Amino acid sequence: MKVNTKWGYIDKTGKVVIEPKSDLIGQFSEGFALYSVGGNTGYIDKTGKMLIEYQFQHSWWFSEGLAPVEVEGKWGYIDKTGNLVIQPRFLNADLFSEGVACALVITMTGPKWGYIDKTGDLVLDPQFTWAGTFSEGLAPVKVKGKYGFIDKTGKVVIKPAYAEAQSFSDGLAAVGGSEN
């Protein structure tokens, strides 16, 4: 629910549950929703109670117990108590899925996406111009201007041949612009 550029939440009957006070909100995930006031984000519960104070430049929702957050221009991850468990050192970061998350790092050839584990260690070297989340054991990646899919070992399972690609869901992945 957005009122005068402020966001809040309603229930299925249309009753306002959380008054519209936020500049930016997100979906609830694992009992938390990001909530923004004054340019910083924090997290609330379904009653509107502040669980993690407004302190992050940007943030995403929780997935597998962790949420990517931006602190002083770098991305890291917090746990559900708000503690930084992976220090902010990435140019960008995505949600954890199937135990890994893609993260953007500087390499000798410029910014590249790789995959990290829940300790923040790289498990797949940064080598992709774009990388998506793993779903059903595969992740979309962009290599030399085309999208394909890799498995968790980094092996290319579906060669990059598409102009666009999304993660798998129910055994299918949306792709566009095939050269086949």
pLDDT one-digit tens code per residue, 49-62: 999 998 998 999 99
Same domain (yes/no): 102, 70: no
> Does 179 share its domain with 138?
yes
Percent of the chain topping pLDDT 90: 81
Are residues 98 and 149 both part of a single domain? yes
pLDDT over threshold 90, residue 100: yes
In the chain, the number of structural domains is 2
Average pLDDT, the chain: 92
Q: What's the residue count for the chain?
A: 180
**Domain of 31: which CATH number?**
2.20.25
As a whole-number percent, the residues of the chain with pLDDT over 70 amount to 97
Q: What is the maximum span of the chain, computed from C-alpha positions, in angstroms?
A: 55
Measured distance CA(79)–CA(64) in Å, rounded:
10
129-158: average pLDDT: 96
User: Cα 173 to the chain's mean position, in Å?
Assistant: 18
Structure tokens at 81: 């108590």
Amino acid identity, residue 160? Answer: P
Domain boundary among 21, 55, 82: 82
Same domain, yes or no: 66 and 113: no
Question: Which one-letter amino acid corresponds to residue 155?
Answer: K
**Chain center to CA of 51:** 20
pLDDT at 3: 52
pLDDT band for position 4 (cuts 50, 70, 90): low
Which residue among 82, 107, 134 closes a domain?
82
CB 95 within 8 A of CB 133: yes
Residue type, 151: D
Q: Which residues of 132-166 are buried (b: 16+ CB within 10 A; e: fewer)?
A: bbbbeebbbbbbeebbbbbeeeeeeebebebeebe
Q: Are residues 149 and 180 in the same domain?
A: yes
42, 53 contact by CB (below 8 A): yes
What is the domain extent for residue 50?
1-82
Ranked by mean pLDDT, the top range of 21-30, 40-49, 90-99 is 90-99
Considering the domain architecture, whether residues 122 and 168 belong to the same structural domain is answered as: yes
- The model's confidence at residue 2, banded by pLDDT at 50, 70 and 90, is low
Is the dihedral angle over the CA atoms 152, 153, 158, 162 positive or is it negative? positive
pLDDT at 23 (0 to 100):
85
Q: In what order do the strands lie in the sheet with 2-3?
A: 2-3, 6-10, 16-22
Whether residues 6 and 59 fall in one domain: yes
Q: Do 180 and 98 share a structural domain? A: yes
